[in-house]
Structure 1
């Protein structure tokens, strides 16, 4: 069964480039994705990252909407730890007022640290899956990478200081979703005769999505509220089956969905043949290394990737992501993505592709769309 393909874009900078160049490439890629027949175009939310320009999804989506006509647009994901439910709805309500019926409000709790993470005393939550590499019906499920070390770093503390108001404590995800839905249906009342209305936002024609990287709160909230769920194989491949299983186990039919609806993400690079694709993908490992060392750098050149001296420690640091990137000729990648879809039961796939040369990136999306539909 062929399912729809969509795009996830981080608006990556490349070595020697700047944010202006990255955002111009994003606008061009969005136009191309619409032409190639992709279903959605989502942008990420990343802050204080030298290699990524997608820091404000609503602002960027407005620019993308102005140069496209049909493709659905959304956030993958708006980080609920850094803004209120009202602010989230107002941003996307404004977009819907300008470009009606085209937007997905994708929410994630990735910026919401557990209280124990702040103190630095707790260990990472135990995984429901064995912490060893395995193959499940042809799909690689690697060892789990623990991000808690980064969250407890001095750099992370600085970032959270800059991103959050002093003393502010984010709502749990279920409360965020509930408040957005109440405000969207309007008015929001306090039980004492006072009310508030979100303008724009009330009555907005938005699709609400939850994104998650494990079988935790995000998957459970999406399922219990009968909302569509996006699982991150490209960020947390070790947890993807846990995530979709938890979502389906919690699913309760709603006015939005009568049955679970899952989109699964994947890192992809397609070229005319396997050898060319492998060459173009060389900088990926170096870029992932930078992410896990504390912040994504601008996308490296091929020469930088060839010159880098890898230690065994560094290779182990990026292994799960490198091994689960889908790289190759159109047929090679289509076959592997078909396995991902089959094993996860995905109803859609969300494709993220990066390359140093913008033409290679656009060509990858073009080749994949052409061969996926054939």
Structure 2
């Protein structure tokens, strides 16, 4: 992990399916965004594993990573993340060994322990793999062993081909202290989903840094902070665009999962006072505004967290508006300082 005065910024894409659209169009938009992100100087382009959600198309995450890596040239592409308890570690080692063999030096493997789905989908996915993420440390140890050289096959027998001997950087992702502590103990880079759990951001970063043990992978802590950003040429337009994500979250807490809705001029009348408070709490770390406002808020995030890297998620209904948001963030990013 190289250091410079300019803070690296990356993209976290959910491959959102907008109302009246399709997964096929979502994938075209994802690749278009990745190609623009590469041109604009973003460090990484990560995709997240979710299942059974009508508004998110990235369920076959490894396949989509291959699609994006094949359509780009230099940007790192990876998972933000693969939910490891959903899978046999050997399968993930083989998949990411294949990706690294196809696109050497460009693949990241970010791992989480949440299901990326509801309990019903989780039961189907994890049939025979265990009910929860309690065995995540053991699964992680097995996965890492598959990437070791040929001299050390897992259990003396099982080998990941391709995968064995390849350098696929592993990140731990989290929204609580569990993965922060584990990443620190193993000397791995850590990414915190502050757009999911803003209240736990600072305690998790402190836990990670104070307990970090240098390793062959990393000699000092490296923390990436996830931030939800909606940028536009005017504050008014940014606030209007952000209502798509607000409506999606409102539908989620009401148990109504659907495709990403178009923005509205005002959320008044769409939520109860309790729901409004819940959304304000959830998005308390989110950044919405014009270029100057985004610059000020992102600089504040850097200064308050000491982040080594930011990864930005922007759920915006209109594809051109989403591109413009990431373009503004890239412009700002070239001016941000650690």
* TM-score normalised by structure 2 residue count: 0.92
1:8 and 2:23 are equivalent in the alignment? no
Unaligned stretches of 5+ residues in structure 2: none
**Aligned CA distance change for structure 1 residues 354 and 189 (closer, same or farther; 3 Å):** closer
1:159 and 2:117 are equivalent in the alignment? no
Alpha carbons 2:244, 2:315 under 8 Å: kept: no
Q: 2:167 aligns with which of 184, 195, 205?
A: 205
Task: Render the CA deviation track for 1:97-142: whole Å, top value 9, x for unaligned.
Answer: 1111111110001129xxxxxxxxxxxxxxxxxxxxxxxxxxxxxx
2:319 aligns with 358
1:188 and 2:153 are equivalent in the alignment? yes
1:66 and 2:74 are equivalent in the alignment? no
Task: Render the CA deviation track for 1:192-214: whole Å, top value 9, x for unaligned.
Answer: xx412110110122111000101
Task: Render the CA deviation track for 1:214-235: whole Å, top value 9, x for unaligned.
Answer: 11x2111100010000011111
Alpha carbons 2:86, 2:125 under 8 Å: kept: yes
The offset of 1:321, in angstroms, is 2.5
1:126 aligns with none
1:336 and 2:297 are equivalent in the alignment? yes
The offset of 1:291, in angstroms, is 2.7
1:256 aligns with 217
Where 1:188 maps in the other structure, the secondary structure is: coil
1:174 aligns with 137
Where 1:318 maps in the other structure, the secondary structure is: helix
1:43 and 2:47 are equivalent in the alignment? yes
* TM-score normalised by structure 1 residue count: 0.83
1:30 and 2:34 are equivalent in the alignment? yes
Where 2:101 maps in the other structure, the secondary structure is: helix
Where 1:323 maps in the other structure, the secondary structure is: coil
Task: Render the CA deviation track for 1:53-76: whole Å, top value 9, x for unaligned.
Answer: 011211000000111000001100
Q: 2:274 aligns with which of 306, 310, 313?
A: 313
The offset of 1:240, in angstroms, is 0.5
Unaligned stretches of 5+ residues in structure 1: 113-150
The offset of 1:295, in angstroms, is 5.8
1:291 aligns with 252
**Deviating more after overlay: 272-281 vs 291-300:** 291-300
Alpha carbons 1:61, 1:73 under 8 Å: kept: yes
CA distance in 2, matches of 1:171, 1:235: 21
**Deviating more after overlay: 305-314 vs 246-255:** 305-314
**Aligned CA distance change for structure 1 residues 295 and 49 (closer, same or farther; 3 Å):** farther
**Matched residue pairs, number?**
328
Alpha carbons 1:287, 1:299 under 8 Å: kept: yes
1:325 and 2:286 are equivalent in the alignment? yes
**Deviating more after overlay: 74-83 vs 304-313:** 304-313
- RMSD of the alignment, in Å? 1.9
Alpha carbons 1:229, 1:263 under 8 Å: kept: yes
